[in-house]
């Protein structure tokens, strides 16, 4: 299993629901599809969504952010929970791992 952010780190995004977020990060695809938000996401897509898509949708509902968004940087996708500000800490999926940070700093660094 890949390294995941700790519950302590996740608290900056999810507050008291950090443990719930950690559980979602550890779920299998079938478990995510059984979650009410995951099931809704699967049902609203014509083609099967990726596991990342389902997981981030469930995490978005826990964090109560403004949706899942992404930006392509040099051919790679940075996926994040929209926290409402470019430099606000949020959950990111970048280069194969989940991390807490702000997406604005990554865009600045990669845009050079």
pLDDT in single tens digits along all 112 residues of the chain: 578 999 999 999 999 999 999 999 999 999 999 999 999 999 999 999 999 999 999 999 999 999 999 999 988 999 999 999 999 999 999 999 999 999 999 999 988 7
3-state SS, the chain, equals: CCCCCCHHHHHHHHHHHHHHHHHHHHCCHHHHHHCHHHHHHHHHCCCCCCHHHHHHHHHHHHHCCCCEEEEEECCEEEEEECCCCCCCCEEEEECCEEEEECHHHHHHHHCC
Nearest partner of 54 among 30, 23, 75, 82, judged by Cα:
30
Taking the alpha carbons of 58, 25, 4, 14 in that order, is the dihedral positive or negative? positive
Instruction: Please give the pLDDT value at position 111.
Output: 80
pTM of the model: 0.94
Phi, psi of 90 (to 5 degrees): -150, 180
């Amino acid at each position: 299993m890949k390294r995941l952010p700790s519950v302590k780190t996740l608290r900056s995004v999810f507050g008291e629901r950090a443990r719930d977020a950690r559980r979602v990060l550890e779920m299998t695809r079938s478990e995510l599809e059984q979650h009410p938000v995951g099931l809704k996401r699967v049902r609203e897509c014509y083609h099967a969504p990726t596991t990342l898509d389902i997981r981030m949708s469930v995490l978005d509902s826990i964090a109560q952010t403004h949706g899942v968004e992404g930006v392509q940087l040099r051919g790679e996708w940075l996926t994040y929970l929209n926290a409402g500000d470019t430099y606000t800490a949020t959950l990111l999926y970048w280069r194969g791992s989940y991390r807490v940070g702000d997406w604005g700093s990554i865009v600045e660094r990669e845009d050079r």
